[in-house]
Structure formats: C-alpha cells, structure tokens
A and B are shown apart, each in its own frame.
Chain A
Amino acid sequence: MVNIINDAGFAQEVNNSDVPVVVDFWASWCGPCKMLSPVIEELSNEYGNKVKFFKLNVDENPVTSMQFNVASIPTVMLFKSGKLVETLVGFRPKQAFKSVIDKQI
C-alpha cells in the first residue's frame, strides 16, 4: 500500500518511523512517473510492514520538493531513522530498488 504524503505531514512521518521510509516524488504530467507507480506499488506489497511507502506530488508540495532539491522526476528517496540514505533518480526496474532497500532492512 503506497500512502499519500504531503508538505504538512512529511517530517512527522519520516522522522517517527521505526522502519525505513520510501518516498516517490511524482507529478501528473510525468510519463516515467506513471510507469514507476505500479513498480512502487508492487514493492510496497512485497515489503509489507518492513518498509513504509509514500508518494508525494511535487506540484502540490513545493516545500518538500525544494527542501530536498528535487531536480528531475521521478525521484525516489529512501530514509532511515529520519535521515536520507539513498536517492534514485529516474525509472528503474523493481530489482534495482530491491537491492537498495534490502541494504537498509
């Protein structure tokens, strides 16, 4: 299950999670973001409670996008204990994300 996150709740969700957090930065006009969406969905189902998955719309949430210097979308960020540990820019196949996420669990 990929939940929606926004500027208001971002810090709270990311800092207070005891499992790693994945945030998918996307926009409605971005083709590759739409391609990535089902991949992120599959990942969230596979990881269950071990990892939290969120998606953030960059048009609706400029504060977070600017705070993290999002220059290109899709961008997927992985947080652990409130800290940004990995940034992946652009679409990748599911396996590429798994290799990165597995290192943090």
Chain B
Amino acid sequence: MALSAGETGVPKRAGEGAAKADAAIENELMAKVLLIEDDRETAEEITSELTDRGFEVEWAADGIEGLGKARSTRPDAMIVDRLLPGMDGLTVIEALRKDQMRTPVLVLSALGAVDDRVRGLRMGGDDYLTKPFAIVELVARIEALLRRPAESRETTLRVGALELDLIERTAKRGDRAIDLLPREFRLLEYMMQRSDQLLTRAMLLEEVWNYKFVPATNLVDVHMGRLRHKVDGPDEVPMIHNVRGAGFILRTGS
C-alpha cells in the first residue's frame, strides 16, 4: 500500500493542509489519472497538484498521443481539454467509448465554448469544468468521478452516527431524531452518499438543486448553515465541515 504525499509530506500551503490531507486519505490505491492538455504550464500545475494529493498522473500534450496513452495505460480517470491540437477532446472521448472504455472523464472547456455536447457529459456520468477554474474545484470533481456512488438498493444510508431512511424520509443522529425539510433531506442524502469527500458549492448547486447558473447570493452556504444547525447539535462533534474557499465535507467520525 502506497502512502500518498499529502498524508506524510508537508503541505505546500499551510492553510489548506488539513483539507488536502483529508482529501488525500482516500487515494490509497494511487488512482491513475491521464491528463490531456496542450498548455504545458497548465498541465504542470495540475500534475503537481494532483501528485501532491496522491494521484499518479500521466500527461499527454495532444489528442492523438492522449488516445494512445489512454488505450495503453488504462487510467482510472481522465482530464481532457476540449480544444486540442490534432484531435478534438470530445472526439478522443468518443473514440474511447467506441472501444468500450468507460473511464470517467472531466472535460475542460473554455467559458464561451460550452455547448450541448459538453453539457451532455454530465448526463453520461462524466463532468465538465470551464476554464479558468479553481484547482480545488478540479480536484474535488476528479475525486467525485473516481468515487461515483455505486447503484445501491440500500434504503437506509449510514454515516457515523447519522442515519437516513430513504423510504420513511426520516433522519436520526444516534437516538436524536432530526426534523428535515424536503430540500434539507435532499442535500443530506447527497452528502451522505459522498461522505469524506470535498463537495464544492458549484457541485452542490448542479447536483442537489440542478441549477445551471451561478446565483448572486451565497445560496449554498445559507442552506448548508441550516442543515448543519440541525445535524450538529450543540454538544455533538461536528460532522459537516466548511473547507474555507473550497466547499463542504461530511466527515464520518472524529
């Protein structure tokens, strides 16, 4: 078992060290990520960030090379720039899908170039991110892609002392019943399916509320504040954590 850099090494930025270490804990299996990006500087930034977080990163500078590397190295996830020399990023993905490779893909697209084909990625289980992006957002989304919740028939979700009954639509923490509004229930359900995983505001907006726009107000924070107030009682150990400048994590325990 390989130890990830984030777990043992000194974090590069002190303020984000805790979040980084937490995100890295789950990368024990050294997930392989293939990055297809033609801009060398961007590629280096992404590579060093992902390596710090315990990923094994392979880099290809154009579509054709990327397609070859995807076929030979069989990565666990791919980050593909939409505009690539040689072969368009979406064409690379289509070629891989024809080979029955279901590797999850995160497409990087310019802000003005998000069309229906790119939007369609989310429906196919993949994801996209518009350039320029925050590096935390990229890492959070790659982790989300790598740990897509398995289709489960469980009717009760359990995270630590937290229990969510999907049939009865009730929630408990230990013996304490939590009274949730429907929107709070939806949010908690989504977070429990992805416990110990950093969820950014944009991800929550897209997935929980299904909104495709960035609201002017900090909507997510307000909703999250309400939920946290109900989930974490005054004498209890907090489970919902705010990662400054990034998003939220539902932590299993201590």
On whether the two chains bind one another, the answer is no
Interface residues of A, Cβ cutoff 8 Å to B? none
